[in-house]
Amino acid sequence: MNSTIATLLIQDGLTSGAIYALIALALLIVFTITRVILVPQGQFVTFSALTFGLLQSGVMPLVAVPVAVLAVIVTLLDVAAARPAQRLRTLRDAAWRQLAWPALLVAVTVFVTTDELGTFGQILFTLAVVIPMGPLMYRLVFAPMADASILLLLIVAVAVDVAMGGVALLLFGSDGVRTEPLIATSIPLAGIRIHGAVLLVIVTAAAAMLALFLFFGRTMFGKALRATAYNALGARLVGIRVRRAGQVAFVLAAALGAVSGILVSSIMTVYFDSGFIIGLKGFIAAIIGGLASYPLAVGGALAIGMIEAWSAFYNSTFQDVIVFSALLPILVVRSLLSPDVAADEEPAE
Amino acid sequence: MIRRYLWGAAVAGFVLLPWAAPSFWLTLADVAGILALIGLGLVLLTGAAGLTSFGQAAFAGIAAYVCAYLTTMAGLSPLAALPLCLLAVALAAIILGAVTLRLSGHYLPISTIAWAAAIFYLFARLQLLGGQTGLDGIPPVSFGPWAATSAARSFVLIWGCVLAVIVTQKFLLRARAGRAIRTLRGGTLLAESFGIPVFRTRLTVFVYAALLAGLAGWLYVEFIRFLNPSPFDITAGIKDLFVVMIGGAAFPWGAVAGGAILTALPVILQAVTSGQNENYVLIAYGLIIVLLLQRSRLGLVGALVARFPALQAPARTVGPAAPLPARAAPRRGEVLLRVEHVEKWFGGLCAVRDMSFEVRAGEIVGLIGPNGAGKSTMFNLITGAAAPSAGRITLCGADVTGASPRAAIRRGLARSFQHVKLLRGASVLENVMIGAHLRGRKGLFAGMFRADRAEEAAIAAEAARQLARVGLADVMHRPAGSLALGPQRLVEVARALAADPVLLLLDEPAAGLRHAEKQELAQLLHGLRDAGIAVLLVEHDMDFVMNLVDRIVVMDAGAKLTEGQPAEVQTDPRVLDVYLGGAE
């Protein structure tokens, strides 16, 4: 071990830690607002990384197709739920609100080549196709069962993750994807060379956190979301629409996942099933924060990133074993901190 | 009757299939049986106790690897290795359970995902265990000259285990230990208030489910006779939970149905899509679970039982039985509950301030006060649901300040809840039987092997007697959730009475009752008082309280305003002031 290696390991730890932090934040936002433990958060990362990776290698992925199919299903459900006299109007509204965007994505898929998009266009397309998956998932899966117990919502979340894993395999195949760094140069900083990719990840993650902080702390709508997280019934009584809040939570989660996916594709090879493990590390970070504290979760994510980087150096064979076993001491601490078991909790029925 | 035919068919299938069925089908049946065995653990863990684990495949993997190692490297016979496999699984379950089962419900499933991943990577990376390539040459299970070397012989072994577990589990679910496990679903406070230790019960169920997964893992490695890590990855753990979700988590046969469906689905999809199907199978699993849980949470067997009532287990028979042990009645006038200078602070907020009062044997005391006066907090402090910040609470002469609800019920304090806490799917009778938990002794094994019949009959008879006392004898076999709110409150009273209390704490027992029902309740409480029981109740219905109680304690803003006979309190200007608002 010398200082060069240490610097590299710290860079590695910070980079992956920053990505786990984005995922942990998404999980916290969704859990506090909708009580859903969003296991498929990792799938947003996978879909985004593989979409962007394929675009970079000159292949146009068909990922817009499932988005369009889901949007059509949502529209059909809306029309079926509307009163007969209203159906035509519902359809017309939906055409604009729900179908125009996926139609545009499909049109781009069919008529535009990856070269014409350019790197910036490819990033935009990736975001544009992954972010709608969040609200679509909420609308189709979780909103209809908003009253179910946390446990049931979790099982459904796992089922969604399994289904999305299958879709990812169909769309992207089983080959891994790794992109060239968006910023190829490295920058000297206080005697250390910092890779552009590392800097990009850290700066983007910090910017995303700052944006979230301003959104939840300063805007009226962000405050309303926090109120919903604190007390859904109370929020409803003062006129906050809980369903709308859930939708926004899922938009934010998908956006954070999409951004993480683009970032992660340049620092590791992503396969169709990588998202689950990446998401799981975000979970451990969220658990460090007690599924409630944002700063603790970010700190936990950086810690997980560091543990991962250093265990990769000292014992790469058991790297994943070490990272996931790190959960045990955390749970011990949480057990000691938690109130007595007699404190009542949500019954399962 | 039809249930008897179905059991007959099951036993006939078990005996005949190994002779008659082609080996391809028997192989599938063996795989389904192994899944069903893991599922049976989850029926108790998820279906009965309301806990969820995605880590059952990891437990199966631990047993499989221990077995493979001991039989190939240490030369043990598979049968000799079995106890060591189960021991290893039990140890792992105890360690993992100890750190997760004290936390609230959703920590368990997330952590099971994480440690299941950790255990899987351990299998895959340890060269000692063959790494990714695996271990080969595992000897078959043998009893003397008989060795389980074919799919048919494995079928006998595997399905023999499945049927034995189904039978014992069905007995267990109806026994005292099974009731305790099912009570976990009603929340921790309910269980603790009737003397059921939540953490220990959770740990017991967790280890039980892990052991069944371990047995399944041992059977699996003995069936395949080759071992690599992939059958125990996290997807497998998820699939195990899907088994009971699809089959019906509340029923032992649900695990069998789910195991069969999840084994058949890939085969059918293979035939339909002809070939490369893994991704379609995953998509199908996911969609089935989402649609199923959105529409009905019963699973296949649950839906069948709901559709065909003849499939339901017959109602428990209640007959004459020896009485349960009862507590010595307190002396009339003896102080049962003494509250001295009790305070409760929540941060900077004082919810209860310097409260002192007594309740004596053979009297009914009402605790009244406007909303927010601190009555519920006072109730929680007495029952042990919360600990006071200062002061002393004495129950039957013993200091119980800050003790748990279990300490309270052991000393003879039984309670009802303001927000009714009943197991909605269980019968009224079984709900009341929970109340008598501490009056029984029989444990898990007695329940599994029906060595508890006399005690169970006595508990059922006692519960029926208390239900008759509250006037609900004719609905005792109905699901508790089907009753109106008023009668549900009476079920809570009967459940508390089944605990043979000396002090009964009732939280708004008359809310939701009709006039006639209120009068019956008042009559019942008078009868209890005459039998020497003390009753402390919080109630908002003033007519009901004034005509019922011997003494009233009035609270306002966390402190005692006054105390006295109903007539005195009713005319006290301070009481009128807090109830009707200050006339300044």
For residue A169, what are its two tokens?
């395999």
Record: contact B293-A156, CB cut-off 8 A = yes
- Considering the domain architecture, whether residues B485 and B508 belong to the same structural domain is answered as no
Look at residue B583 and tell me whether its pLDDT is greater than 60: no
The string of pLDDT tens digits covering residues B472-523 is 999 999 999 999 988 999 999 999 999 999 999 999 888 888 888 888 889 9
Range ranked top by mean pLDDT from A195-199, B18-22, B292-296: B18-22
Look at residue B321 and tell me whether its pLDDT is greater than 90: no
A141, A283, A343 ranked by CB distance to B110: nearest = A283
Query: What integer pLDDT is reported at residue A231 of this predicted model?
Result: 73
Range ranked top by mean pLDDT from B328-332, B410-414, B575-579: B410-414
Place of tokens 């001491």: A329
CB A308 within 8 A of CB A88: no
Q: Which residues of A22-32 are buried (b: 16+ CB within 10 A; e: fewer)?
A: bbbbbbbbbbb
User: In this prediction, what percent of chain B has a pLDDT beyond 90?
Assistant: 54
Look at residue A341 and tell me whether its pLDDT is greater than 50: no
pLDDT band at A6 (very low <50, low <70, confident <90, very high): confident
Higher-pLDDT residue of B40, A190: B40
Query: What integer pLDDT is reported at residue A344 of this predicted model?
Result: 47
Q: What is the pTM of this model?
A: 0.90
Query: What integer pLDDT is reported at residue B372 of this predicted model?
Result: 82
| Interface probe, candidates A27, A28, A142, A155, chain B, greatest B C-beta count within 10 A | A155
DSSP string computed for A95-127:
IIIIIHHHHHHHHHHHH--HHHHHHHHHHHHHH
Alpha-carbon torsion, ordered A116, A121, A127, A128, to 10 deg: -60
Record: contact A37-B404, CB cut-off 8 A = no
Smallest Cα distance from B42 to chain A, Å: 13
- Considering only residues 60 to 89 of chain B, which have any Cβ-Cβ distance to chain A shorter than 8 Å? none
User: Domain ends where: B435, B463, B494?
Assistant: B494
B402 near A CB under 8 A? no
User: Domain ends where: B479, B494, B509?
Assistant: B494
For residue A31, what are its two tokens?
């859990």
For residue B137, is it within any domain?
Answer: yes
Contacts of B404 (CB under 8 A, 6+ apart): A340, A342, B192, B384
CB B278 within 8 A of CB A272: no
| Interface probe, candidates A39, A324, A336, chain B, greatest B C-beta count within 10 A | A324
- Considering the domain architecture, whether residues B136 and B52 belong to the same structural domain is answered as yes
Query: What integer pLDDT is reported at residue A349 of this predicted model?
Result: 45
The string of pLDDT tens digits covering residues B38-76 is 999 999 999 999 898 999 999 999 999 999 999 988 889
Look at residue B275 and tell me whether its pLDDT is greater than 70: no
The string of pLDDT tens digits covering residues B338-354 is 999 999 998 888 889 99
Among left, alpha and beta (phi > 0; psi -120 to 50; other), residue A87 is alpha
- Considering only residues 216 to 255 of chain B, which have any Cβ-Cβ distance to chain A shorter than 8 Å? 234-235, 238, 241-242, 245
Least confident of A37-46, A132-141, B93-102, B157-166: B93-102
Q: Which CATH topology does A3-60+112-165+190-337 take? A: ABC transporter involved in vitamin B12 uptake, BtuC (1.10.3470)
Query: What integer pLDDT is reported at residue B482 of this predicted model?
Result: 93
User: In this prediction, what percent of chain B has a pLDDT beyond 70?
Assistant: 98
Least confident of A221-225, B70-74, B239-243, B465-469: A221-225
Range ranked top by mean pLDDT from B118-132, B200-214, B478-492: B200-214
The string of pLDDT tens digits covering residues A291-304 is 778 888 899 999 99
Record: contact A349-B186, CB cut-off 8 A = yes
Query: What integer pLDDT is reported at residue B492 of this predicted model?
Result: 95
Query: What integer pLDDT is reported at residue B58 of this predicted model?
Result: 95
Query: What integer pLDDT is reported at residue A78 of this predicted model?
Result: 87
For residue B253, is it within any domain?
Answer: no
* CA distances to B62, B81, B490 from B211, in Å: 11, 14, 40
Query: What integer pLDDT is reported at residue B444 of this predicted model?
Result: 93
User: Domain ends where: B494, B510, B545?
Assistant: B494
For residue B301, what are its two tokens?
């067997």
Residue B526, domain extent: 335-412+501-580
- CB pairs A-B closer than 8 Å: 172
Query: What integer pLDDT is reported at residue A118 of this predicted model?
Result: 87
Residues of B in contact with A325 (CB under 8 A): 115, 118
Spatial separation of the C-alpha atoms in residues B169 and B167, rounded to whole Å: 5
Range ranked top by mean pLDDT from A95-99, A171-175, B91-95, B98-102: B91-95
Look at residue A23 and tell me whether its pLDDT is greater than 60: yes
* Size (chain B), residues: 584
pLDDT band at B208 (very low <50, low <70, confident <90, very high): very high
Record: contact A328-B115, CB cut-off 8 A = yes
A155, A165, A347 ranked by CB distance to B293: nearest = A155
| Interface probe, candidates B198, B280, B293, B421, chain A, greatest A C-beta count within 10 A | B293
* Residue A107: Cβ within 10 Å count: 11
Among left, alpha and beta (phi > 0; psi -120 to 50; other), residue A188 is beta
Least confident of A4-13, A37-46, B166-175, B444-453: A4-13
B125, B186, B404 ranked by CB distance to A317: nearest = B125
Look at residue B442 and tell me whether its pLDDT is greater than 90: yes
Record: contact B114-A327, CB cut-off 8 A = yes
Average pLDDT of the residues in A97-125: 89
Record: contact B110-A287, CB cut-off 8 A = yes
Look at residue B277 and tell me whether its pLDDT is greater than 80: no
Residue of A nearest to B421 (CA): A347
For residue B550, is it within any domain?
Answer: yes
ipTM of the shown complex: 0.85
Q: What is the CATH number of the domain that holds B388?
A: 3.40.50.300
pLDDT band at A1 (very low <50, low <70, confident <90, very high): low
Supply φ then ψ for residue B422, to 5 degrees. Answer: -125, 155
Look at residue B531 and tell me whether its pLDDT is greater than 70: yes
Spatial separation of the C-alpha atoms in residues A40 and A280, rounded to whole Å: 10
The string of pLDDT tens digits covering residues A66-92 is 999 999 999 998 888 888 888 888 888
For residue B138, is it within any domain?
Answer: yes
- Considering the domain architecture, whether residues B73 and B147 belong to the same structural domain is answered as yes
Q: How many independent structural domains does chain B possess? A: 3
For residue A215, the Cα-to-chain-centroid distance in whole angstroms is: 17
Query: What integer pLDDT is reported at residue B501 of this predicted model?
Result: 95
- Considering the domain architecture, whether residues B108 and B137 belong to the same structural domain is answered as yes
Record: contact B125-A167, CB cut-off 8 A = no
- Considering the domain architecture, whether residues B103 and B224 belong to the same structural domain is answered as yes
Burial class (CB in 10 A: 0-12, 13-18, 19+), A297: buried
Record: contact A331-B103, CB cut-off 8 A = yes
pLDDT band at B582 (very low <50, low <70, confident <90, very high): low
